Chains A and B, each alone.
Chain A
Amino acid sequence: MADMKTNRHILLHAVLVCFTVLALYPVFWVLALSFSGQQSVGLIDLPNDPSFFERFRAILPVPAHWSVSNFTEVWTEQSFGRWLWNSVIISLMTTVLGVFLACTAAYAFSRFRFPGRDTGMLMFLVSQMFPGTLMLIPLFIIIVKQLELGNTYIGLVIVYATTAIPFCVWMLKGYFDTIPYDIEESAIIDGASRLTIFWRIILPLAKPAIAITALFSFMTAWNEFILASVFMESEANYTAPVGLRFFVGGFSSQWGYFAAGSVIVSLPVVVLFLQLQKYLISGLTAGSVK
């Protein structure tokens, strides 16, 4: 029995490794470019009538020369560190605000039956439906003209959080729905208030979903570039994606810098995900349903 299980896992490992390598192949190209010290992707160099192995060697994403110059350039040419820090602050604020607002709303949608509930849920969905291309000017009017929140963290945080909330509400509501109501009922019988139930019972049980929505909210703010460049009025307040975009667009594109910057920018996401991972394996255990 034990042997069979290991065998099965070996097969599973093989499949997973294969898939992971395939999935990471484009990422390897990004890495290769970032460590090449060059600005353009290396081309496949093949002799006439190449053999299978020559072709295979050619498609391996390995730079001709290794160099970290792209990284050092990206880091030193502009105040990239400062921008990364801005991004971290803005994204974390977005995450906290978005997840908090979404949790309360999702709890109400999941646990209470009230008129306008379906419409309310639909409203959150509806907000994702209008193509964003035409939203820039009205958003500018509200945030910068009316609220005078141009050039501030909070202006961006508000916009990003509202962008992220619909998904978070829907996701959390779905998850809350799977948490059996009996747990709460017994707590109510024990005299716990709604708030206590929400805080002490529901939120801990919903950790996996909260982790996912947190990651999502973070990503929403993390990669956004156009609003950040339009709303901010001083270079010190730019975010990392804005800084990255300086390398491309217009006439010339420094793809090597962009790749190096992208690698830097994705590291915090990986770190965050590593932190959030442990919540993906907790959640409902057999004991809590009782």
Chain B
Amino acid sequence: MKLPAYLKRTAFWGLGISLLITLALSAWLFRAGVNELQLQQRHRIAVMHANALSLAISSTDVEETAKRVREIQKFDPGIESLIVVKGTQLVASTNAADSAPRQLKRDEKPLYDLSNLLRTARETNRGEGVVRNKTIWVEENKPGHIQVSLPYLLNGEFAGIVQMRFNLLQPAMNIRLEDSGALPILIFFGALLVGGFLKPTSERRMDPAKLMAIAAFLLSALFYQQQRLDRLEQVWVNGNRVVAANYLETAEQYDRAGYLPLVRDPASANLWDTDHYQRPLELIAADGSSTDTEYGAKAADRTSFIKPILWAIDILGIGILLLIIFGYAERMYAAFKQHIYAYVYIAPAMIGMFVLVFFPFAYGIALAFTDTTLFNESLPFQERLIGLANFKAILGDFNLYERTADGIIWNYANFYWTLFITVLWTVSNVFIGVTVGFLLAMALNTEGLRGKAIYRVLLILPWAIPNYITALVWRGMFHPQFGVINQVLQMFGLEPVKWFDGVVSSFITGVATNGWLSFPFMMVVILGALQSIPRDMYEAAEVEGANRWQRLRFITLPLLKPTLIPAIVLSVVWTFNMFNIIFLVSGGEPAGANEILVTKAYKLAFENYQYAYAAAYSTVIFIILLAYGVFQTRVSKATESF
């Protein structure tokens, strides 16, 4: 097939594909943004009307409440239905069939529960001095039909709840701006045209054509995104005008009815236009006035969450562009086709890994960027996002020790102390495990040794018995008065040691237990690895007069490497995250000095309920281990046999 020359150029395809993806993702993002804004706007208006209602019926008696409810529905046609609930009483309802006032029926329990929930939320916010529980519940199960529930008061105290169904399908509320899809298409084809003229080389070095392509990409993408951002802000500003107009109209009606006087003071706060915690949004004043410029600034603030996502999209786009114009994509495709059999071998294991490991990872890492705790985990994800604050708090805390008159006091709660202990813990455990395992394996690999099978079986018992009980036995052995170890010390006339009182001795208890638990594994691994060393190599070496040490040094160790190194790398990772032993034996005693990072993360999550902070801890652990893993594979790559 004969293609025109420009179609063969990577710049053409690179710009085409990367821009298509970038523009499509941006367009989708902004569409979602506009929808979100509209949703917020709708809810804001509904909340405004609900707040007005609740204020209008506060401190009224049952009859007056019922009367006002009926009147308000008449002059506020957006209200589809509304009910007032106080304790187990249905106080008023706009639906005559409800025959209010009456007791709630058994199947109306959700209303009673909601009332309690909002009362508690209000009390909690006041009692703790921080606002953390929503006192307004907004639901939109059918588009445009919004249900708002919120408390109403009696002499300043919680009385009950108002539940309002509000219809917001009137055309006047539409804040969407008319848009034609021409702009992105124009930009796309413009860029394609540029791409057609550029002739980048397929080599892996920068040339002017590649620079031009990158510039064209950035220009097109950023231009489009800026235009969309402006547009989004415009939608905000328009929305606010709609809300302000709606506010004024409604407020005048309440004023006329004599339920709530309209405050004509631009300086006083608007109590209707609130967030879901009933705090004034301060976007419209009590007299309905608002300044677009001020509001515009706030709009930019509100849309700021979009910017990081835009950055991510742009980076993705540039990445694709670079892959294509530098020829990586082509080479990757060729390699994939060539090595397809290798990928088939790996695919089953990889797929399982991806589903079951990388989703939980993504979950955990995403959690680390929020402020999720037990108390707010039911809030939507984007409300919990806080960026890097958790990492700053963990890594930026250098309060490692205090200087006092008695000398230096270490702060055991500090991350770096725990990291130090963790590294020490890992190194000593792996060292013990590997050394003991190696010596035993060598011993059990002695030719002609009788009873090997018995030794082997007996020596894997520490691994075979559930460590929950052996850890308890070890803990018991370290008891200062009744423990076996101190008895043995005393047998030989030594002083008993209070094992869990000192930082070092307590550390030893953990290492002893874990070393005991992990040597059988290492022994078995090394035993297996020793089988891969052909006997004739030793024979040849012996013939040439190599002594034992030389045979060990130049035959055994190098040939063990390929299997020993994976085992060591993995035990480093496992020991780093070895939760049970610390938890069961020393419990981090004394005073948390012997905690390791993973027990710390566990405590944060399950004792302090700071899920996000714990996730950030886990992510830090992950990054440390990842760095180790990359480093180790680099180093050990040299040892690959061919």
Contacts and interface: CB of A to CB of B under 8 A. Distances in A.
Whether chain A touches chain B in the assembled complex (some CB pair under 8 Å)? yes
Given A5-B448, A125-B573, A208-B532, A20 B487 contact: no
Given A133-B605, A134-B614, A138-B363, A16 B335 contact: no
A105 B630 CA distance: 20
A28 B449 CA distance: 26
B482 A138 contact: no
A226 to B, nearest CB: 11
Interface residues of A, number: 106
Contacts of A270: 457, 460-461, 464
Given A9-B446, A138-B363, A165-B349, A131 B601 contact: yes
B343 A133 contact: no
Given A131-B601, A262-B465, A175 B529 contact: yes
B563 A209 contact: yes
A133 B487 CA distance: 37
A57 B335 CA distance: 70
A211 B528 contact: yes
Nearest to A114: B339
A173 to B, nearest CB: 7
Contact of A26 (B346, B448, B463, B470): B470
Contacts of A162: 352-353, 356-357
Given A9-B448, A133-B618, A134-B618, A285 B534 contact: yes
B533 A284 contact: yes
B266 interface: no
Contacts of B601: 131, 133-134
B531 A282 contact: yes
A23 B516 contact: yes
A259 B469 contact: yes
A159 B356 contact: yes
B508 interface: no
Contacts of B341: 108, 112, 194
Given A24-B458, A284-B532, A130 B466 contact: no
Nearest to B519: A23
B443 A128 contact: no
Given A129-B622, A286-B536, A178 B563 contact: yes
A283 B532 contact: yes
Interface stretch (B130-138, B252-260, B398-406, B564-572): B564-572
A262 B469 contact: yes
Contact of B534 (A12, A108, A109, A286): A286
B559 interface: yes
B622 A255 contact: no
Contacts of B641: 177-178
Given A108-B346, A125-B573, A179-B532, A9 B450 contact: yes
Given A24-B458, A101-B349, A105-B345, 5 more contacts: A29-B476, A108-B345, A133-B606, A174-B564, A178-B559
- Counting from the closest, the 5 A-B pairs by CB-CB distance are A283-B531, A108-B345, A114-B339, A170-B566, A138-B360
Interface of B: 332, 335-336, 338-339, 341-343, 345-346, 348-350, 352-353, 355-361, 363-364, 367, 440, 443-444, 446, 448-451, 453, 455-470, 472-474, 476-477, 482, 484, 487-488, 490-491, 516, 519, 521, 524-525, 527-529, 531-536, 559, 562-567, 569-570, 573-574, 577, 579, 597-598, 601-602, 605-606, 611, 614-615, 618-619, 621-622, 625-626, 629-630, 633, 637, 640-642
19 contacts: A9-B450, A12-B449, A23-B462, A26-B462, A27-B461, A30-B470, A30-B473, A55-B487, A104-B349, A108-B345, A112-B345, A114-B338, A130-B364, A131-B602, A138-B364, A178-B641, A219-B464, A274-B453, A289-B536
